[in-house]
């Protein structure tokens, strides 16, 4: 008998028979690429979905070109017509399944400096992780079995845990598929599997400079940018978007991104916005504010009620927005947290940023990078936010200057570049003697002097 899953229901079917009465052999699995994230916030998942989307679009475009009689470009990496791409959450394979968002929130209060400790202090910048099987032996044997059965062509990882679990599974199963690491912030933490990964796709040259003292060779570093969805590569009609959303054409639009995936970090962010509300009427001639509450209906109702009570008329409150790329592109300034995906989407949408709130760990690095290049402003209190908005209202050129500076970081093709690089790695010959494939329980090593410390 053959077991089949239909709409989450198990059904049993007799095996198909060949013409001579012999049972048919099971159909071979389609070639598979796994794109794996961890459900800690939304950024890692968004980047994973963007890379998966890029594979699919490249596949569709190549089929369409062939149907039109065009040959594949000489430099185009091989792409199987029947390639299957699966986006997986590594936490689903854990021996103990836990809520990644709640776990991440543990590092947003008094314990935040402990999390910050893992980011590029002199000692933690030299004592590094090279990869090993310990992750899967203890916590993720289910993923090892998944890899043993499915034999993926490659695994693309947008989270550090996913990368380490993929490395462990490859070691334990003796396979040689490439593992591509895609950090989704503007720095690389010391626990990425540096010596066992095939490629690091990083956001900028500063990240490459961090990897070199960690003994990652240049041929395994590619500057792609952070992957965003295809809609962030598109151009949008600002006038039409504003008209559709009922936004004024004659004012600067300030977009406040207040949707919450990790509740605790957003408590202070939203508290600062609440303190700002009574002052918004002073900008009625120059600025119009758009608050995006995401899926939090209670917060959206709170904002609408507060604005009504205060008599503030230059505010639009939106719930979940499908066309976020178009909304960002039609805005003049965005108030946001300093998460890697959020700031990258703003860069791709060409909207200047005011980064709000204290930042630790990777977000601190994001703030330092953006502000040092003049691509964003950073404020930590409601008063500082009010002062920054007054500066933009009085001198709109300050926002345009941030836009120009941010253009040097803008890489809207990142997802496609990551997908193309992965396909090239799949096509390369693999040597069984390569040290990346050696089975190690755990590997710590001492790197060179860090390029960046604090």
pLDDT one-digit tens code per residue, 171-202: 999 999 999 999 999 988 888 999 999 999 99
For 176, phi then psi, to 5°, come to: -130, 30
- Residue 338, pLDDT > 50, answer yes
pLDDT confidence of residue 357: 87
CA distance 377 to 83: 43
pLDDT one-digit tens code per residue, 252-288? 999 999 876 555 555 678 889 999 999 999 999 999 9
Predicted confidence band at 107 (pLDDT cuts at 50, 70, 90)? low
Q: Which of 282, 220, 250 is nearest to 425 (CA)?
A: 220
Mean of per-residue pLDDT scores for the chain: 88
- Residue 426, pLDDT > 90, answer yes
- Are 190 and 128 in contact by the 8 Å Cβ rule? The answer is yes
- Residue 157, pLDDT > 70, answer yes
- Residue 360, pLDDT > 90, answer no
- Are 193 and 167 in contact by the 8 Å Cβ rule? The answer is yes
pLDDT confidence of residue 112: 63
Predicted confidence band at 232 (pLDDT cuts at 50, 70, 90)? very high
What's the whole-number mean pLDDT along residues 351-371? 89
What's the whole-number mean pLDDT along residues 147-161? 97
pLDDT confidence of residue 105: 56
Higher pLDDT, 363 or 112: 363
Q: Which of 425, 426, 419 is nearest to 50 (CA)?
A: 419
Strand order across the beta sheet in which 199-202 lies: 84-89, 32-37, 154-157, 179-181, 199-202, 221-223
pLDDT confidence of residue 11: 38
The helix (H) or strand (E) run that includes residue 240 is: helix 238-245
What's the whole-number mean pLDDT along residues 76-96? 93
pLDDT confidence of residue 433: 92
Per the document, the length of the chain is 454
Predicted confidence band at 121 (pLDDT cuts at 50, 70, 90)? low
CA distance 321 to 314: 19
What's the whole-number mean pLDDT along residues 388-415? 94
CA distance 23 to 436: 41
Using the structure block, give the residue that is written with the tokens 């993926």.
152
pLDDT confidence of residue 122: 53
Using the structure block, give the residue that is written with the tokens 């949408």.
349
What's the whole-number mean pLDDT along residues 33-59? 95
Sort 14 into a burial class: Cβ within 10 Å, 0-12 / 13-18 / 19+.
Answer: exposed
Q: Is 452 helix (H, G, I), strand (E, B) or coil?
A: coil
Lowest mean pLDDT among 5-9, 39-43, 152-156, 190-194: 5-9
Lowest mean pLDDT among 77-81, 240-244, 334-338, 388-392: 77-81
What's the whole-number mean pLDDT along residues 57-72? 90
CA distance 282 to 159: 43
pLDDT confidence of residue 116: 62
- Residue 14, pLDDT > 50, answer no
What is the Cα 153 distance to its own chain's centre?
Answer: 22
pLDDT confidence of residue 268: 79
Strand-pair category, 9-13 with 2-6:
antiparallel
């Amino acid at each position: 008998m053959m077991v089949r899953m239909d709409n989450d229901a198990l059904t049993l079917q007799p095996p198909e028979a060949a013409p001579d009465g012999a049972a048919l052999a099971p159909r071979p699995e389609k070639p598979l690429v796994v794109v794996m994230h961890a459900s800690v916030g939304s950024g890692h998942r968004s980047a994973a979905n963007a890379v998966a989307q890029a594979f699919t679009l490249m596949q569709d475009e190549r089929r369409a070109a062939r149907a039109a009689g065009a040959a594949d470009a000489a430099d185009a990496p091989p792409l199987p017509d029947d390639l299957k791409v699966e986006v997986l959450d590594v936490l689903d394979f854990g021996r103990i399944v836990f809520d990644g968002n709640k776990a991440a929130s543990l590092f947003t209060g008094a314990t935040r400096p402990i999390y910050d400790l893992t980011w590029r202090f002199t000692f933690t910048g030299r004592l590094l992780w090279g990869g090993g099987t310990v992750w899967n032996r203890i916590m993720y044997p289910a993923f090892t079995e998944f890899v043993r059965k499915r034999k993926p062509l490659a695994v693309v990882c947008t989270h550090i845990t996913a990368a380490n679990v993929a490395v462990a599974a490859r070691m334990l199963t003796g396979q040689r598929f490439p593992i591509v690491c895609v950090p989704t912030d503007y720095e690389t933490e010391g626990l990425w599997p540096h010596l066992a990964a095939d490629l690091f796709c990083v956001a900028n040259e500063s990240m490459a400079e961090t990897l070199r003292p960690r003994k990652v060779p240049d041929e395994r570093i590619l500057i792609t940018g952070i992957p965003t969805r295809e809609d962030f590569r598109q151009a949008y009609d600002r006038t039409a978007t504003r008209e559709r959303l009922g936004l004024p054409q004659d004012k600067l639009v300030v977009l406040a991104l207040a949707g919450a995936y990790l509740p605790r970090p957003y408590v202070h962010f939203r508290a600062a916005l609440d303190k700002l509300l009574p002052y918004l009427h002073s900008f009625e001639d120059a600025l119009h504010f758009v608050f995006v509450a995401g899926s939090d209906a209670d917060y959206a109702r709170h904002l609408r009620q507060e604005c009504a009570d205060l008599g503030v008329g230059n505010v639009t409150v939106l719930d979940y927005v499908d066309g976020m790329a178009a909304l960002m592109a039609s805005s003049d300034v965005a108030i946001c947290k300093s998460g890697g995906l959020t700031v990258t989407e703003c860069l791709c949408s060409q909207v200047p940023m005011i980064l709000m709130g204290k930042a630790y760990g990777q977000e601190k690095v994001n703030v330092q990078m953006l502000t040092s290049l003049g691509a964003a402003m950073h404020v930590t209190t409601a008063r500082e936010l009010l002062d920054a908005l007054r500066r933009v209202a009085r001198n709109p050129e300050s926002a345009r200057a941030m836009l120009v500076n941010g253009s040097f970081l803008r890489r809207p093709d990142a997802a496609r570049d990551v997908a193309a690089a992965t396909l090239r790695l799949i096509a390369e010959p693999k040597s069984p003697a390569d040290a990346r494939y050696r089975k190690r329980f755990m590997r710590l090593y001492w790197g060179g002097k860090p390029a960046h410390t604090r």
